[in-house]
Amino acid sequence: MINRRTTLRWLAAAPVASGLAAAVGLAAEPAVREIRISAKKFEFTPSSVTARVGEPVMLLLSSEDRIHGFKMPDFNLRTDIVPGVVTAVQLTPDRAGSFSYFCDIFCGDGHEDMGGTMLVEG
């Protein structure tokens, strides 16, 4: 599922996922739930995902067309999403609620609507 290219991209993303979202070795944590999110102008699919407080999840981000950004300010997460590369970022939500994610690299008329929501249950 996760090839060398993915891992390299994940390593590159780890520093920006520091703080509340910490990256861990994939081989050492096989049980981490994966959430795949695909980006294209001007939407994320899915635009709504769920997680639980304290449950680590691995966001696997990909792009179908051009470079996009992925930003979740509430968890201090941001990374580029480059076509042809799966970007993996681990997140362990520490609180319940509804948290937005959005593209932060301007991508055209509709960019402002390109977002989604993570619902974190307690």
Partner 1 sequence: MQTGYDRREFLRLGGIAGVAFASGLFPAAGGAQAQGSDFHFVQFSDTHWGYTGPANPDAAHTLEKAVETVNGLAAQPDFIVFTGDLTHTTDDPKERRARLKRFKEIVSALRVKDVRFMPGEHDASLDRGEAYKEFFGAPNYTFDHKGVHFIALDNVSDPAARVGDEQLAWLAADLKQRKPEDRIVVMTHRPLFDLYPSWDWATADGAKVMELLMPYRNVVVFYGHIHQEHHHVTGHIAHHAAQSLVFPLPAPGSQPRRAPLPFDAATPYRGLGTRDVAVGVASSYALKELPVAKA
Nearer to partner 1, 3 or 109 (CB): 109
**Which of 18, 64, 100, 121 lies at the binding interface for partner 1 (CB under 8 A)?**
100
Beta strand ranges found along 18-67 (DSSP E): 33-40, 43-45, 48-52, 57-63
Is 89 a residue that touches partner 1 (CB under 8 A)?
no
Nearer to partner 1, 29 or 100 (CB): 100
Nearer to partner 1, 52 or 78 (CB): 78
Is 73 a residue that touches partner 1 (CB under 8 A)?
yes
Instruction: Supply angle C-alpha 24, 63, 71, rounded to 5.
Output: 55
Q: How far is the CB of 108 from partner 1 (least distance, A)?
A: 5
Is 104 a residue that touches partner 1 (CB under 8 A)?
yes
Applying CB under 8 A, the residues found at the interface with partner 1 are 69, 71, 73-74, 80, 100, 102, 104-109, 111-113, 115
